[in-house]
Amino acid sequence: MAIKWSAVKVSEALDKVEQQVALAEPFFNKAKAKAVEAKNIANLPEYMLQRLNRIIDRVGRIDNVKGAIESARSTIPDGAIEEEQKSTKHGRTQSLI
């Protein structure tokens, strides 16, 4: 069954999102390391440790973003990208179906 949306465009968009996440990941890793380091400050009260743990948890969720990208990519129907690329090899034409 043909899909009405462009699997190629969705795949390309996901590639761009993935590239941006890859660029951001080192910064998130550094932020997480700094928060972990801050937990070693002497005499921190428990409520501050909790806040730092929350920061570490939130920053660590970049893996959730990567998982969401993969999840979106996996819902593109099998063969849809190849089929679309084949059908548009000689230019785009609107389907009569």
> In 3D, which of 52, 25, 57 has the Cα closest to residue 38?
52
Tokens (6 digits) for 17: 């999102």
| DSSP-based three-state secondary structure for 93 | coil
**Predicted confidence (pLDDT) per residue in 2-37, tens digit:** 678 999 999 999 999 999 999 999 999 999 999 999
**Predicted confidence (pLDDT) per residue in 57-87, tens digit:** 999 898 899 999 999 999 999 998 898 888 8
32 within 8 A of 59, measured Cβ to Cβ: yes
More confident residue, 1 or 25: 25
Q: Judge whether residue 91 has pLDDT over 80.
A: no
For the entire predicted model, the pTM comes to: 0.74
**Integer angstrom CA distances of residue 29 from 21, 33, 78, 82:** 12, 6, 34, 36
Give the start-to-end residue ranges of the domains of the chain. Answer: 7-75
Instruction: Summarize the confidence of residues 46-55 as an average pLDDT.
Output: 97
Tell me how far the alpha carbon of residue 42 is from its chain's centroid. Answer: 36
Q: Judge whether residue 97 has pLDDT over 80.
A: no
